[in-house]
């Protein structure tokens, strides 16, 4: 993380046009990276504060700057690598608990029988949301021949069961919509969907009520008109899903 950003700032909002703007809100005094890192560690050591979700990405080095090809096919100069945050068990548990609480506020007292997530990115956060809700955690996998999401490993859905679909990051909502179809084809009902990060600025439609802990809208480029490509910067494909 060091050397990739110079200053961070506390922010009051939950919706940002970009991750960089979230960390550089002008209404607060900026503090240096090293001082911020030390501050976050002290907060978690003594539970005196609750830094925002996005600051967990900064603290764990999960906010990446470079040249990335997204699943949607667009290019971007920034990427949030949820796996690095979820690699810290206490952060994963906290995010799962917060996401479960937000989902409960959306679906009310409606029963939920299971949480289901797309592999690979949704597996850990789906498990933590299921832990918080005290229900089973299932995940789908992409079939190598059909490139479609399917249930394996003996996972089963019974007709009428109500599910919540959980993903780490939503950009276009494609993976979530695929999992929604898997549930519906098995005769289940999807009560809602959730993610840690919504990269669509709230625009992604997955066909069911949806919540996110943080909503951002990073700048993306069409590959045919990408300034990073013109600059000759190598492009990297993060994540595990094939590019559109």
Mean pLDDT for the stretch of residues 198-221: 92
Residue 160 three-state SS: coil
Q: How does pLDDT run across 24-78, given as a tens digit for each residue?
A: 443 333 333 344 344 334 433 333 234 588 889 989 999 888 999 987 788 999 8
What are the beta bridge partners of residue 170? Answer: 198
Q: Please say if the pLDDT value at position 91 is more than 80.
A: yes
19 vs 176: which has the higher pLDDT = 176
Considering only CA atoms, give the Rg of the chain: 18
Rounded-to-integer distance, Cα 235 and Cα 66, Å: 8
Domains belonging to the chain, first-starting first, are 89-216 (3.40.50.2020)
pTM above 0.95, yes or no: no
């Amino acid at each position: 993380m060091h050397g990739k950003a110079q200053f961070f700032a506390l922010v009051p909002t939950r919706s940002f046009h970009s991750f960089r703007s979230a960390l550089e809100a002008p209404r607060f005094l900026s503090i240096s990276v090293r001082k911020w890192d030390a501050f976050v560690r002290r907060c978690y050591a003594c539970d005196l504060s609750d830094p925002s979700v996005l600051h967990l990405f900064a603290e764990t080095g999960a906010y990446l700057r470079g040249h990335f090809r997204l699943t949607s096919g667009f290019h971007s100069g920034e990427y949030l690598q949820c796996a690095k945050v979820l690699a810290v068990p206490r952060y994963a548990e906290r995010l799962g608990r917060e996401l479960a609480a937000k989902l409960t506020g959306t679906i009310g007292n409606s029963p939920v029988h299971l949480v289901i997530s797309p592999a690979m990115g949704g597996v850990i956060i789906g498990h933590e949301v299921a832990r918080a809700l005290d229900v089973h955690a299932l995940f789908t996998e992409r079939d190598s021949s059909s490139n479609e999401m399917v249930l394996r490993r003996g996972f089963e859905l019974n007709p009428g069961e109500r599910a919540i679909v959980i993903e780490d990051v939503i950009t276009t909502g494609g993976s979530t919509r695929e999992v929604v179809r898997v549930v519906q084809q098995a005769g289940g009902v999807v009560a809602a969907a959730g993610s840690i990060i919504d990269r669509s600025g709230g625009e992604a439609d997955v066909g069911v009520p949806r919540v996110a802990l943080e909503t951002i809208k990073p700048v993306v480029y069409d590959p045919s008109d990408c300034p990073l490509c013109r600059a000759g910067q190598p492009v990297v494909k993060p994540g595990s899903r094939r590019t559109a």
